């Protein structure tokens, strides 16, 4: 029995045939009085798999005909069809989503009327813009619905990469900062602490700095944070005078243009008890520990962004792949009135 192509649907008029397709895969929408209405994606997949034939006013419609027709009717149809086809071949029930989601994915063996959704799924080409605000928004919406968000990226060869997206709330067991004032000495782009009691206070209360022989070296971010908390006095070795926080911030901003952005994320993580160190050797802003770095491996790599950040998906893929390769989770921190953390993890559905 052939389906009839009409605008953006294919209509299976035969009641028995329509019922068979619906009951064995939940394709289409059953029609009152019998028959089945398929969207172009469903129709193309069923045509490809040899389960239906399709006609229009001019006669038989083959696979290439329908693919070309659908691509003219619907933007990025081939991208969406690649994902639809892959999920169907994995055995999932794939239904049309509602904005901002492209698809609703039911578990294998599920039913649209009885089975809760397993994933909401959004689809992008590897050439699409990575819009951090947009991804955070759809992730938040999925979590409001108490569903998992799956993101499918289609590369230029048609291969697929899937990410699960979550809004993360990193927490740790570290003290935010020492209670007693310490003194450090500024030189060029770092601060040295030489007093043994100060070194002990800093390392035991927040795991600040790195021991370099007889002294403790603080980064400018650590130093600025400690000055904000009123527990650090810094002497500029070139002038012999104490520096103000504004002076340190000015120098740090000249050395590192995004210093205020990084400091905002560092401050937020420290207040959450997360031990935070530079992530330079991993090509990111921070590596973050839930406890003593001598006892724990870093759980997170953290990269900081301003609101409105737009980038490229290959850059995001590289960051996720690197984090996965060193057994860490990547967090993309958006700095606004609040700081939100987006976690992306590679998934095999």
Cα–Cα distances in angstroms (integers) from residue 112 to residues 26, 92, 120, in the given order: 8, 12, 14
Tell me whether residue 289 is one of the annotated catalytic residues: yes
Give the CA angle between residues 159, 161, 163 to the nearest 5°: 165
CATH number for the domain harbouring residue 26:
3.40.1170.20
Report yes or no on 240 lying in a domain. Answer: no
Of 168, 201, 218, which residue sits at a domain end?
168
- Give kind and range of the element (H or E) at residue 149: strand 148-154
Q: Of 27, 69, 162, 289, which is the active-site residue? A: 289
Per annotation, catalytic residue among 16, 73, 250, 297 = 297
- 105 and 128 within one domain: yes
The total number of structural domains that make up the chain: 2
DSSP character string of 150-215: EEEEE-TTS-EEEEEEEEE-------SS-SS-EEEEEETTEEEE--HHHHHHHHHSS--SEEETTE
Strands of the sheet containing 119-125, edge to edge, are 93-96, 103-106, 119-125, 148-154, 160-168, 339-347, 329-335, 300-305, 286-289, 275-278
Q: What is the DSSP string of 252-293?
A: HHHH-TTHHHHHHHHHHHHHTT-EEEE-GGGTSSEEEESS-T
Task: State the catalytic residue, choosing from 118, 166, 270, 328.
Answer: 328
The tens place of each residue's pLDDT in the chain, 349 residues long, gives 689 999 999 999 999 999 999 999 999 999 987 899 999 999 999 999 999 999 998 999 999 999 999 999 999 999 999 999 999 999 999 999 999 999 999 999 999 989 999 999 999 999 999 999 999 999 999 999 999 999 999 999 999 999 999 999 999 988 888 888 999 999 988 999 999 999 999 999 989 999 999 999 999 999 999 999 999 999 999 999 999 999 999 999 999 999 999 999 999 999 999 999 999 999 999 999 998 898 889 999 999 999 999 999 999 999 999 999 999 999 999 999 999 999 999 999 9
Q: What is the 3-state secondary structure (H, E, C) of 304-335?
A: EECCCCEEEHHHHHHHHHHHHHCCCEEEEEEE
Specify the CATH number for the domain of residue 145.
Answer: 3.40.1350.150
Q: Is 297 tagged catalytic?
A: yes
| Three-state secondary-structure class, residue 68 | helix
In-domain check, residue 283: no
Beta-ladder partners of 122 = 151
Domain end among 141, 168, 195: 168
97 with 55, same domain?
no
pLDDT value of position 342: 98
DSSP 115: S
Task: Indicate if 12 and 82 belong to the same structural domain.
Answer: no
257 within a domain of the structure (yes/no):
no
Task: Report how far residue 147's alpha carbon sits from residue 157's, in angstroms, rounded to the nearest whole number.
Answer: 30
Q: Whole-prediction pTM value?
A: 0.92
Whether 328 is catalytic is yes
Does 127 lie in the same domain as 64? Answer: no
Q: What is the domain extent for residue 90? A: 77-168
Domain edge (last residue) among 50, 73, 96: 73
Same domain, 95 and 18: no
Does residue 93 share a domain with residue 60?
A: no
pLDDT of residue 1: 66
Q: What are phi and psi of 335, to 5 degrees?
A: -95, 115
């Amino acid at each position: 029995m052939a389906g009839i192509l009409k605008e953006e649907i294919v209509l299976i008029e035969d009641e028995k045939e329509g019922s068979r397709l619906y009951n064995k895969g939940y394709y289409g929408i059953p029609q009152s009085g019998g028959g089945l209405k398929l969207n172009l994606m469903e129709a193309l997949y069923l045509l490809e798999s040899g389960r239906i034939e399709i006609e229009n006013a001019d006669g038989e419609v083959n696979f290439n005909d329908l693919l070309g027709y659908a691509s003219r009717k619907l933007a990025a149809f081939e991208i969406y069809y690649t994902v639809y086809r892959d999920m169907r071949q994995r055995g999932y029930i794939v239904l049309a989503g509602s904005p901002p989601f492209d698809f609703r994915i039911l578990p294998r063996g599920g039913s649209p009327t009885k089975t809760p959704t397993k994933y909401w799924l959004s689809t992008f080409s590897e050439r699409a813009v990575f819009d951090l605000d947009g991804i955070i928004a759809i992730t938040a919406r999925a979590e409001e619905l108490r569903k998992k968000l799956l993101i499918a990226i289609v590369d230029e060869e048609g291969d697929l990469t899937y990410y699960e997206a979550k809004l993360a709330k990193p927490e740790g067991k570290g003290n935010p900062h020492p209670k007693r004032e310490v003194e450090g000495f500024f030189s060029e782009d770092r601060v040295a602490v030489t007093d043994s009691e100060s070194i002990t206070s800093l390392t035991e209360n927040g795991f600040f700095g790195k021991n370099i022989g007889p002294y403790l070296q603080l980064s400018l971010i650590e130093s600025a944070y400690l000055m904000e908390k009123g527990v650090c006095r810094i002497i500029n070795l070139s002038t012999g005078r104490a520096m103000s926080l504004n002076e340190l911030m000015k120098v740090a901003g000249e050395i590192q243009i995004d210093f205020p952005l990084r400091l905002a994320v560092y401050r937020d993580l420290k207040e959450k008890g997360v031990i935070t160190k530079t992530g330079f050797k991993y090509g990111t802003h921070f590596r973050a520990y839930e406890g003593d770095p001598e006892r724990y491996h870093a759980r997170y790599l953290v990269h900081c962004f301003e609101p409105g950040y737009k980038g490229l998906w290959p850059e995001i893929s590289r960051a996720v792949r690197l984090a996965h390769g060193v057994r860490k989770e990547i967090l993309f921190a958006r700095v606004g009135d609040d700081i939100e953390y987006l976690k992306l993890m590679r998934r095999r559905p």
